[in-house]
Amino acid sequence: MSHTLHKYGKNTQAIHAGQHVDEATGAVAPPIIQSSTFAFDSCKQGADRFAGAADGYIYTRMGNPTIARLEEAVSTLEVGAGGLATSSGMGALCTVVFALMNAGDHMVGTSSVYGPSRVVMERDFSRFGVESDFVDTSDLDAVRAAIRPNTNLVFIETPANPTISLTDIAEVAAIAHEHGALVLVDNTFASPLLQRPLELGADVVMHSMTKFINGHTDVVAGMIVPSTAELFKRIKPVHSYLGACMDPHQAWLALRGFKTLGMRVRTAQDNARKVAPFLEAHPKIEWVRYPGLESHPQHELAERQMDGPGSLISFEVKGGLEAGERLLDQVELMTLAVSLGGVETLIQHPSSMTHAAMPHADRIEAGITDGLVRVSIGCEDADDLIADFEQALEEA
């Protein structure tokens, strides 16, 4: 059915992609094939599967029916050439970099990207001769200036974590391709419901499915979706050999969450559209970054590139770090925790939490101020969230 789903809307796709009726039992909900290995009908069939001459499953690290359903579902919404599910978002990033980069290659990345994504490039991949520079990719001139003759990959996160800055995917793709580089986009903050980078010229998209795709704060998972069969074939063997594979039960939970992606994303987004103006108008708030506000530096780009501004908001309380800490300690309904994209509202302090491993100077250069607070608006009633902010700001 997946080949016909693209004629339907994104909500319909999210509900039906990967959701085949089980042939053996007629079950509507997909079965969990919790098997590490798969039997062959004959020695020849096993040899043919290992040689790639016959379809079929061999070993769950290399492929599994339950996992395949999830890969099909996400790839359908991203309009890609197939999906590769991983055990985490970091597993997805490391797999792509291992597959596409060689010693002596150079990568340009978004300066305010998720902290561990930047740290693994600067601290670990650099040990194997992979160079990287991180710049403000919302500034196209900065992207052009950062590209070198050996630049092989441009890695952008948009909206970025945690500054909520936006990068023009189509323009960056044009710049990168002019220099022979590929473009990887972390689409975690938007989800394929609100943004589809491959349609804008990106070569590979990745997700931390821990966030919006699963959406219930109970699974850690990642996904890679290449734009072409050629790129899929380059990444697939590395995906298997690195072993950052997904567990079938983990895949089943994420696939179940994926069916409600549209409802969850839009409810949280509707709430954020109410919370962001409240924060912007509050006398104790220094600034707010939310793509749905006209004050956002890339508001016009958000309207052009995305199908909605999403539900992530960054802001700073007047009084900086100490005032922000008091706010976080006073919230009652919102949960003080890292991560995002769940049905519950999560609030955190990036410079001391998710981005603490980055050097202070790099954080400041990337726009991650000491007083920045990031909130992932959930699916509660918006009035209750605003009331929680009101009482917490009163104390801060």
* Catalytic position from the list 105, 136, 168, 186: 186
Sign of CA dihedral 187, 264, 91, 30: negative
* Catalytic position from the list 57, 105, 114, 236: 114
Sign of CA dihedral 153, 157, 158, 162: negative
Contact 58, 67 (CB under 8 A): no
Q: How far is CA 327 from CA 164, 282, 312, 367, 387, in A?
A: 20, 14, 17, 20, 13
- Whether 139 is catalytic: no
* Catalytic position from the list 196, 211, 363, 374: 211
Relative to beta strand 182-186, strand 151-157 is parallel
Relative to beta strand 204-208, strand 222-226 is antiparallel
* Catalytic position from the list 8, 48, 61, 284: 61
Which residue do the tokens 């089943």 mark? 252
Q: ∠ CA 258-376-123 to the nearest 5 degrees?
A: 90
Q: What share of the chain is helix, strand, coil (3-state, %, to 5)?
A: 45, 15, 40
Relative to beta strand 131-135, strand 106-110 is parallel
- Whether 186 is catalytic: yes
Distance CA 63, CA 157 (A): 28
**What's the chain's length in residues?**
396
Write b or e for each residue in 270-296: b if 16 or more Cβ atoms lie within 10 A of its Cβ, otherwise e. Answer: ebbbebbbbbbebeebbebbbbbbeeb
- Whether 8 is catalytic: no
Q: How far is CA 238 from CA 38, 95, 243, 356, in A?
A: 21, 6, 8, 30
Neighbours of 222 (CB within 10 A): 27
- Whether 57 is catalytic: no
- Residues facing 151 on adjacent strands: 106
- The catalytic residue positions are 61, 114, 186, 211
